[in-house]
Chain A
Amino acid sequence: MAVLLKAQDLTTNFYTYEGAVKALDKFSLSIDHGCTFGLVGESGCGKSVTVRSMLRVIQSPGVIEGGKVLFSEKADAEPVDLLALTEEEMESVRGDSISMIFQEPNAALNPVITIGDQVAESFLFHRVAEMSQKICDAIDSGESYGLLTPYYRAMLGVAAKNPKAPLLKFCSQVPFLKWWDKPVKKEALQRAIKIIGKLGIANPEEIVTRYPHNLSGGMKQRIVIAIALACHPTLLIADEATSNLDVTVQAQILQLLNDLKKESISSILLITHDLGVVAETCEKVGVMYAGTLCETGDVKDVFSTPLHPYTQALLTSVPKFNQEGELQSIEGSVPNLVNPPSGCRFHPRCPKAMDKCSTDKPELKELIPGHLVACHHADRVIGGLS
């Protein structure tokens, strides 16, 4: 399978009063086309910083220090480095080829704009040219948009070629003339209704006229997903998209994501701290600890035969259906990333730590085909075997 997104040696620091927080330290990750990748870890381990760095939406005082994020939208295309793009080019990537669902639907939706306009905005931002072309074709083939049809035809003809043409910008400032984009807005709203309907919401025509506070939590999350899916992204990033939802609503959303994967989106990057969600929805998983990736591979391999001591400990520390005996816990707590531990960042809490662990940082190595681990101990055990 071809690689869709590949992060290499991504390093991000946050400069705070107490010193530089080394949130990501030479972080590498690769996601294939058509794969659902789960990124798990505890809070503060840098899961969200990872995606924010990849999409370049890190907030001050965070700074991306180095690395590459290679993104190839088509399987055979030459990858582009997202970190080297201009801000304007990046804007056309965000929300178009890569889009994101946030944890808190209340924060992601604007409370004073109707649902329909919020979903339509995504089309108006990324798809003006295409929609204008479609309307032009419709007008050419005899469809009427009222008295102003010739004016619409002329303006949309320009928009179809270049939606950012100076003429359009000028007209948008002039009374009456600024209505040139009415058919486009109408078309965008139609598309919004269509996509909301597709997400299993009953009578979408009515929903689009409502405001976010009229909807329940699960509905809002669906609308957020609709916005994310509007432009058929190649990669959908779900940042704790189900964490704040109730079990029954979470079940609805997870099923929705599963259905979507079968139909439309190429890949999903699912960020969560819930191992159960990952086990059920993902094919591949990456386990993060304190800004580093410690283990990655197929979900089945990683969860059934975890190689990194952290993954092992994490798996034994969550209660299970057929839990027997006492839960094992990881001693100590997540380190402060202003002064991260030397060498392997897990070594102060690791039951299998060796001398080497406190001095050398382990590399991510493919010990078993398709299963990468960054651990000196696993290295020795498996390496010794083969």
Chain B
Amino acid sequence: MRRALLYTLLTVASLVMVLPLLYMLSLSLQTEAETLSAEAVVWPESPQWGNYAELFARAPFGDFIVNSLVVAGGITLAHLLFDPLVGYVFAKFRFPLRNTLFVALLATLMVPFFVRMIPLYVLMAHLGWINTYQGLITPFLMDAFGIFLMRQFIQPIPDDLIHAARIDGASEFAIYRRIILPQTRPALAVLGLFTFVFQWNEFLWPLVATTTPEMRTIPVGLTLFNQEYFTLWHLTAAGSVILFVPTAVLFIVTQRYFVRGIALTGLR
């Protein structure tokens, strides 16, 4: 009895979560007439894969995809490059002002993006970086959370390993590159995964910092496409599917890491 209740509850909740997304897929394959018919279509009579081609014909969707890949990929690479290095310094080095700098770093966690939005826009306008890749990427090159995560992960690595390498004459960067970095792989995987998914989905800054359709990322390009062609729901749905598929695939492949990663954010 109690088990039946639990199963019912979980099934209903899961359907509420998944059915809208399946409907999005169905909608993306419907004819325009089907999207407007009085009785809603559950699954199209004959799937219109041509909708996807039509979307590319009506909007520079190829550009959107390239832009999203460059921006989300570039930011992810930067995080993987910088966050562990900075985390290593805070985990293993003693130097003047260390605690002050660390507090100043953690304080940036308290700064929501909207506070930076207007001054960043003004800064980018001064630099002439509005509507450029560097304008979209640079505000997110590192973040305190990623650095903190890496510091926590690097701290338990024995100092003796580092000392031994120093005695052997290894350069400081070689110690980081050859000894520390290889041991952080699981944390790097989580960091890379989360950074990519969040940046792939980011909406506000690409909306503010782009001015021409050719520079828009998928979330922004798709939303503004929908504002222009607000009755062509099958095409908007097709674009949504394209936006969703990469994150869905990444998630299914790595769902264990993903869940552990979320739990980790809660434990800080």
Please determine whether chains A and B interact with each other in the same assembly. no
Q: Which residues of A are interface residues toward B (Cβ below 8 A)?
A: none
Taking beta carbons and an 8 Å cutoff, which residues of B are in contact with A?
A: none
